[in-house]
Amino acid sequence: MTTAALVTVFGSLHYDIAVMGPARPRKGETVTGTSWHPKSGGKGGNQAVSSARTGIATSMIGAVADDEFGRFLIANLDRKNVDHTFVRRSASQSTGMSVAIFDAEGDYGAVIVSGSNLTLGDGDVAAARDLLDRTTLLVLQSEIPDAANAAAAKAVRQAGGRVLINAAPARALSGDLQSYVNIIVVNAIEAEMLAGVPVVETLDGALKAAKRLAHLYPEVVVTVGGAGVAYANRDGEEIAIEAEKVKVESTHGAGDEFIGVLASEIALGTAMDVALRRANQAAAKLVSTAESNRD
């Protein structure tokens, strides 16, 4: 590995359509919206952009189709200074996409169609092996196949790098993947699923969940939205940080902003308590910014 810090994100890219309305529709209901706009998304893409925004070198490994949506996503990575050399153009699937419906309070629900993201695998890891060998911190999520994540994580760990996984959406990780993870980041729902016990969505509840998951992973971060974030590791270190108090405009993308900033700070060797505070502040700034005013 080189001495220069490098964050590599291996994950999903989605073309998002954001729809604004007074409320999210119930079953069988039609709601009249106020506006809509396209945006670049996918947890992987969002986290890579967030990381690059801090100024650290950031690369993306992913897959899009050679279609209008794919070209839109590649252009966004270009603008945001994310290296996309290893974003493959898939001929067998359409670009991943999602539709997110926002209510007047800024909360949302979404439907994702994974498309080309599901084609990621060993071939992408092999093609990017030199990049992975130079990676300081690899960032993963659960929007691509588990086997692909495990292959990338193994390559980075063999080269001396570290692996962070944002285990979202919630699903069990394979034993292979779990063995390569240094740091896992989950919200309360995901922590409950992985820990196998109820998690109270408070800062105390998050810390208890983090301590329980530290039996399975070396370092654990549990976020609980407006309550804050908790951390625990196998050495017994514990950190609990209250959320920044802001007026919420939209919660969309807050978790990915948190991950991207946290990843960049960890790759730079920042102390964990400082890294968590900076990531918390970045997420708070994002949620206090209306969707229409985001770059």
pLDDT at residue number 92: 83
pLDDT at residue number 129: 98
- How does pLDDT run across 73-105, given as a tens digit for each residue? 999 999 999 999 999 998 889 999 999 998 988
Q: How does the average pLDDT of the chain come out, rounded?
A: 93
d(CA 95, CA 69): 6
State how far the alpha carbon of 32 is from the alpha carbons of 19, 24, 99, 114, 160, in Å.
Answer: 10, 10, 15, 27, 53
CATH number of the domain encompassing residue 276 = 3.40.1190.20
pLDDT at residue number 276: 98
Residue 160: inside a domain? yes
Residue 271: inside a domain? yes
d(CA 94, CA 85): 19
pLDDT at residue number 15: 97
The number of distinct structural domains making up the chain is 1
How much is the CA Rg of the chain, to the nearest whole Å? 18
Are residues 49 and 181 in contact, defined by beta-carbon separation less than 8 angstroms? no
**Model pTM score:** 0.92
pLDDT at residue number 293: 65
Given pLDDT bands bounded at 50, 70 and 90, which one contains residue 124? Answer: very high
Kindly report the backbone phi and psi dihedral angles of residue 152, in degrees, each rounded to the nearest multiple of 5, phi listed first. Answer: -65, -45
Strands 83-90 and 97-102: unpaired
Partnered with residue 228 across adjacent β-strands are 242
Given pLDDT bands bounded at 50, 70 and 90, which one contains residue 207? Answer: very high
Residue 249: inside a domain? yes
pLDDT at residue number 294: 66
Strands 162-166 and 137-141: parallel
Given pLDDT bands bounded at 50, 70 and 90, which one contains residue 53? Answer: very high
Residue 70: inside a domain? yes
Average pLDDT over residues 193-202: 89
**DSSP string computed for 87-103:** EEEESSSPPPEEEEEE-
Given pLDDT bands bounded at 50, 70 and 90, which one contains residue 2? Answer: very low
Residue 283: inside a domain? yes
- Of the chain, the percentage scoring pLDDT greater than 90 comes to 81
Residue 264 has pLDDT above 50, yes or no: yes
pLDDT at residue number 226: 85
CB burial string 117-151: b at 16+ within 10 A, e below = bbbbeeebbeebeebbebbbbbbbbbbbebebbbb
Residue 16 has pLDDT above 50, yes or no: yes
d(CA 30, CA 146): 36
Residue 1 has pLDDT above 60, yes or no: no
Q: Which residues contact 27 (CB under 8 A, 6 or more apart)?
A: none
Lowest mean pLDDT segment, chosen from 8-12, 252-256, 267-271: 252-256
Residue 11: inside a domain? yes
Helix (H) or strand (E) holding 254: helix 254-267
Residue 201: inside a domain? no
Residue 238: inside a domain? no
- How does pLDDT run across 139-154, given as a tens digit for each residue? 999 999 999 999 999 9
Which domain covers residue 172, as residue numbers? Answer: 6-181+244-293
